[in-house]
Chain A
């Protein structure tokens, strides 16, 4: 069985944005993206981090070294990342593409995921990170690509959220 269409689209969008480094903390839906990247986008380097804040640090270092990094995380990990984002990524104007697998939105079964899931967009707004949401598998590639392209052009990190409706399709 091949990767779901939304996951193939996310990979294509990351690639089209010029990103060849994906630093990640895994989650269940993202496993499809990781597998697809490993099999069909062999020029993309995958870097596993132990915690999301660490992932943002590694991505910042990759950018300083001339790369265009992507950080891939679950929405719950945004909370773990805020100090690195607000005191490194933003004040130093270090761009990166954030691909965020959403929990806590429509269809969630785990109440522990709900408060952060509900807060993700408000937090991103509060700290000034632009965000868009992939609403359908067909839109995945273009939505991810556009977020990355804007991030690297304007030197502000940008987030692309993957709704549960899409990642469970």
Chain B
């Protein structure tokens, strides 16, 4: 399965729900698989996508939050698995696109190319159920119940990139999931009324 095929499965599973994507190829493929306002594309902060998803899942227990992460990215923030395992958010689904390389930076192999097992890491941190999948059908099946999925994917060059305007991405995303910033109450704004 290519990462794009795997990403399409996540978009289908998410329905109208939010998807947070790690920077670089995971974000690019999410845009190609289906640009939608409920996509939060990161352009930096490598490693932090699962943490953003966790915060969102805590703030919005009423929605199922999907995170599309990469193996190189998660390895920068492995502690995130411990925090997710500690808090056990039932509405967070972490999908790890494991291509066993730093594809965005030129294809350098990551430790998963040499056997590092990030599903086992998630299980060791008490995330459950977890899965490792190799086909799109397996992925679609496990997207129903698993909280962390390692999708072994083939690298494929993304064909487009999401919008570069970070504030646009944020505003569009927050409105689409029902938290428009304009509705956020700023008490001190009333200072200027009189």
Contact = CB atoms under 8 A, between A and B. Distances in A.
Interface of A: 18, 21, 23, 45, 47-51, 53-69, 83-84, 86-88, 91-94, 149, 152-153, 155
Contacts of B136: none
Contact of B60 (A21, A66, A86): A66
B46 A54 contact: no
Nearest to B23: A87
Nearest to B77: A54
B187 A149 contact: yes
B58 A50 contact: no
Most buried by A among B20, B79, B83, B185: B83
Given A59-B55, A66-B60, A84-B45, A92 B79 contact: no
A58 to B, nearest CB: 4
A84 to B, nearest CB: 5
Contacts of B169: 92
Contacts of A93: 166-167, 170
A75 B63 CA distance: 35
Contacts, number: 133
Given A61-B52, A64-B177, 8 more contacts: A47-B58, A58-B58, A61-B54, A64-B173, A66-B60, A88-B45, A94-B170, A152-B184
Closest 3 CB pairs of A and B: A61-B55, A87-B44, A65-B59
A48 B86 contact: yes
Say what secondary structure dominates the interface of chain B.
helix
B110 interface: no
Query: How many interface residues does chain B have, given as a range?
Result: 35 or more
A49 B86 CA distance: 10
Contacts of B45: 53, 57, 83-84, 87-88
A50 B79 contact: yes
A48 B51 CA distance: 12
A76 B72 CA distance: 26
Nearest to B47: A53
Contact of B48 (A50, A54, A62, A86): A54
Interface in B43-91: 43-60, 77, 79-80, 82-83, 86-87
B52 A58 contact: yes
Given A50-B82, A153-B188, A60 B44 contact: no
B51 A61 contact: yes
B65 to A, nearest CB: 8
B28 interface: no
A66 B189 CA distance: 18
A152 B80 contact: no
B32 interface: no
Nearest to B45: A88
Contacts of A56: 48, 51
A61 B77 contact: no
Contact of A62 (B43, B59, B166): B59
Interface in B7-29: 20
Given A50-B82, A61-B56, A65-B58, A88 B48 contact: yes
Nearest to A94: B170
Interface in B165-189: 166-167, 169-170, 173-174, 177-179, 181, 184-189
A58 B55 contact: yes
Contacts of B50: 57
